[in-house]
Structure 1
Amino acid sequence: MKDTTLRWGADPIVYDFDNNQRFDLVFYTELVGDFINKTDKRRYLVLSSITTRLPVSPEETVPALQKNASIGTTVTGHNWYEFSEVALIERHEHETGTVQWFGNWLGQSRKYLPFQLVKAQQVHYGWVEISTNVHNGTITLHRAAWCTTPNKPILAGQ
């Protein structure tokens, strides 16, 4: 996998890690109009499938792990969910012209998004290496890996 960049309004980036002709993770953008707060929200999201789980916090964030962090059964402060849709970063454009960025993936360089891939009722752990750049409004997906041995933890970036 080579670097792939998601720009605002571009086509989604779809990953099928196990080559079963079904998406595992989708990275995409969407525009949400908040008429009450008079704000347009440009959201950069990740979506998991019925066979792929993301660790989601009560605040609806996913962790940006350091290299060599262990990815296994537990990710502190998060629970694993399939069909998760989580914003990595958001750009809020207010009616006043003010622009604000939000999200725990802001300014991250080569951090790791953990995931679980379920095949034949067995859990496989994996990661996607991601960088974000708010100056040009992009998310770069550098590379990804998953462990083909079920229930075996994997180190981020390995």
Structure 2
Amino acid sequence: MKTKIINTKKVSFFCCLFILFCFNHKLHSQIIYTDIPDATPNASYSLDLNNDTIIDFIFGFGGSGSSIGVFCNPLNNNAYAGNFVNGTYFPWALPASNTICASLTTWYDYNTPGTMGLGASIGYWPGETNKYLALRLIVGAHTYYGWARLDFLEMSGSFTIKDYAYQSTPNACIQAGQSNLSSNENMGQSVFSVYPNPFNSSATIQTSSNYKNVSLTIYNYNGQIVKQKTNYSGKTFSLFRENLPNGAYFISLSEENKIIGIEKILISD
């Protein structure tokens, strides 16, 4: 196992404002990145995100046969990002470059273990490769954000954890897959963008690839779904405000129940 501390100078404009407002004595952020031999456990995997010998998350199996599942169990006050559907908590499987911080809508702690995958069709993780789990770490009075990269078999009978990282500046954002400045630059742009943003009555969603049967979900800051649209196809979609009030929201695109990406949007008059 090797651990690196890297100074970073590039963060999103929104995150820069947040960090400068809350921690104006900080000039640079630091990312603690840990590269491990790819681990494919038979029973469970204990993740110590900040390598302080205290276990922060446990990934474990449950169920049997075609209903084998993998679950994420945060310990202490730590949490994962996801959503709540029909009585079940589902951690998101994020693509690279998605921003992870307080504004990533809903976080779930030790009271709400998350179903990463159950069989081949339940959850966002079955069959996914090189996707990122957004993690929130509480140490004393401080909050940190990070990620873990995993692969899943299609039937959720096995998973592999590859590496993980966290932003060592309290409350600072990190991008999924970000380990240092140079690798972050090579991760590419976000998989979709919204423009104009902020917008008044309508906006355009531009994706980096052609998609079919895309579902669009908008969440408010409390993690509540305020709008859903389905059956989008192509690379460009129209987004209409309709009856949404002014404010900040998060828009999630998914294809066949697989998360494409999540972005922040602002609506103003």
TM-score category by the smaller chain? 0.7 to 0.9
Q: Deviations over 1:99-135 (max 9, x none)?
A: x542211221101000110112111000000111126
Match of 1:141? Answer: 161
Distance 1:134 1:88 in 2: 12
Measure the CA separation in 2 of the matches of 1:130 and 1:157.
Answer: 11
Percent sequence identity over matched residues? 23
Aligned to 1:49: 75
Aligned to 1:125: 145
**Is structure 2 residue 41 aligned with structure 1 residue 16?**
no
Once the two structures are superposed, the pairs formed by residues 8-157 of structure 1 within 5 Å of their partners are: 10-31=42-63, 41-59=67-85, 60-76=89-105, 79-83=106-110, 84-91=112-119, 101-134=121-154, 137-157=157-177
Which structure has the highest helix share of the two? 2
Q: Which runs of 5+ in 1 are unaligned?
A: 33-38, 92-99
Structure 2 gaps, min length 5 = 1-35, 179-269
Amino acid at match of 2:152: T
Flag as ranges the 4+ runs of structure 1 deviating above 3 A.
none
Q: TM-score, normalised by structure 1?
A: 0.79
Distance in 2, Cα, partners of 1:40 & 1:132: 15
CA distance in 1, matches of 2:98, 2:77: 23
Alignment partner of 1:145: what SS? strand
1:151 Cα offset (Å): 0.7
- Residues 5 and 85 (structure 1), Cα distance of their counterparts in 2 relative to 1, 3 Å cut: same
Higher-Rg member (1/2): 2
- What is the CA–CA distance in structure 1 between the aligned matches of 2:155 and 2:125, rounded to whole Å? 14
2:39 counterpart residue number: 4
User: 1 or 2 for the larger relative contact order (CA 8 Å, sep ≥6)?
Assistant: 1
Measured in 1, the distance between the counterparts of 2:156 and 2:116 equals 15
Superposition CA RMSD, Å: 2.0
C-alpha distance 65-40 of structure 1, shift in aligned 2 (>3 A): closer
SS at the partner of 2:40?
strand
Give the match for residue 32 of structure 2. Answer: none
